[in-house]
Amino acid sequence: MSAALCPVISENCRPSMSHLPAMNRSSTFVVLRADSPVILPSLLLCDFGNLEREIRAVEAAGAKTLHLDIMDGHFVPNITYGFTIVEAARRITDLALDVHLMIANPARYAVQFVEAGASLITIHAEAVDDPRPILDDIRAAGAAAGLAFNPPTPVSAIEPVLDACDYVLAMTVMPGYGGQKFTESVLEKVRLLREMLPPDAMIEVDGGINDDTIARAAAAGAEMFVVGSGIFKTPDYAVSMNKLRQLAQQKK
- Note the residues at the interface with ligand DX5 (CB under 6 A): 42, 44-45, 67, 69, 100, 173, 175-180, 206-209, 226-230
Instruction: Please say which residue, 142 or 175, places its beta carbon nearer to ligand DX5.
Output: 175
Query: Is 212 in the active site?
Result: no
Q: Which one of Zn ion, ligand DX5, none is in contact with 21 (Cβ closer than 5 to 8 A by kind)?
A: none
Query: Is 166 in the active site?
Result: no
Residue nearest to ligand DX5 (CB): 228
Query: Under rule CB under 5 A, which residues in 66-85 are in contact with Zn ion?
Result: 69
Q: Which of 35, 54, 87, 206 binds Zn ion (CB under 5 A)?
A: 206
CB of 126 to ligand DX5, least distance (A): 13
Instruction: Please say which residue, 98 or 166, places its beta carbon nearer to ligand DX5.
Output: 98
List the catalytic residue out of 35, 47, 69, 236. Answer: 69
CB of 156 to ligand DX5, least distance (A): 23
Q: Which one of Zn ion, ligand DX5, none is in contact with 168 (Cβ closer than 5 to 8 A by kind)?
A: none
Instruction: Please say which residue, 221 or 230, places its beta carbon nearer to ligand DX5.
Output: 230
Secondary structure of the chain as H, E, C letters: CCCCCCCCCCCCCCCCCCCCCCCCHHHHHHHHHHHCCEEEEEHHHCCHHHHHHHHHHHHHCCCCEEEEEEEECCCCCCECCCHHHHHHHHHHCCCEEEEEEECCCHHHHHHHHHHHCCCEEEEEHHHCCCCHHHHHHHHHCCCEEEEEECCCCCHHHCHHHHHHCCEEEEECCCCCCCCCCCCCCHHHHHHHHHHHCCCCCEEEEECCCCCCCHHHHHHHCCCEEEECHHHHCCCCHHHHHHHHHHHHHHCC
List the catalytic residue out of 35, 98, 137, 206. Answer: 206
